[in-house]
């Protein structure tokens, strides 16, 4: 998994919010992330759902946002999702 971890760390470093973080911090965070792919039309997050995770969109497109962190506010606030995000 070292190559995969390097890719995840590079993806995290490209994220505006995480770019200032030290490499070691990004590596620590990367160890908790699970890469996945979704087909077009798949709901990635659903409005009203309880938040248990967030998404970091590193490629492709989604309705609501592109190339950003998705679902983090509900996760951080302990609230339900305010939007549905669908893979395109």
pLDDT for res 41: 93
Band the pLDDT of 50: cuts 50, 70, 90: very high
Question: What is the distance between the alpha carbons of residues 58 and 19, in angstroms, rounded to a whole number?
Answer: 14
Per-residue pLDDT at 1: 44
pLDDT reported for residue 40: 93
Give the three-state DSSP class for 44.
Answer: strand
Q: How does pLDDT run across 67-85, given as a tens digit for each residue? A: 577 888 888 899 999 888 8
* pLDDT at 3 exceeding the cut of 80: no
pLDDT score, position 18: 83
Name all domains of the chain by residue range, CATH numbers in brackets.
1-33 (no CATH), 36-88 (2.60.120.10)
pLDDT averaged over every residue in the chain: 85
Cβ-contact 58, 11 below 8 angstroms: yes
User: How far is residue 74's CA from residue 66's CA, in Å, rounded to a whole number?
Assistant: 18
């Amino acid at each position: 998994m070292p190559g995969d971890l390097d890719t995840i760390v590079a993806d995290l470093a490209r994220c505006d919010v995480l770019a200032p973080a030290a490499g070691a911090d990004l590596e620590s965070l990367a160890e908790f992330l699970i890469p996945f792919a979704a087909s077009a039309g798949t709901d990635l997050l659903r409005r009203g759902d309880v938040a248990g995770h967030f998404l970091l969109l590193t490629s492709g497109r989604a309705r609501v946002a592109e190339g950003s962190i998705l679902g983090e506010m509900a996760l951080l606030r302990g609230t339900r999702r305010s939007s549905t995000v669908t893979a395109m």
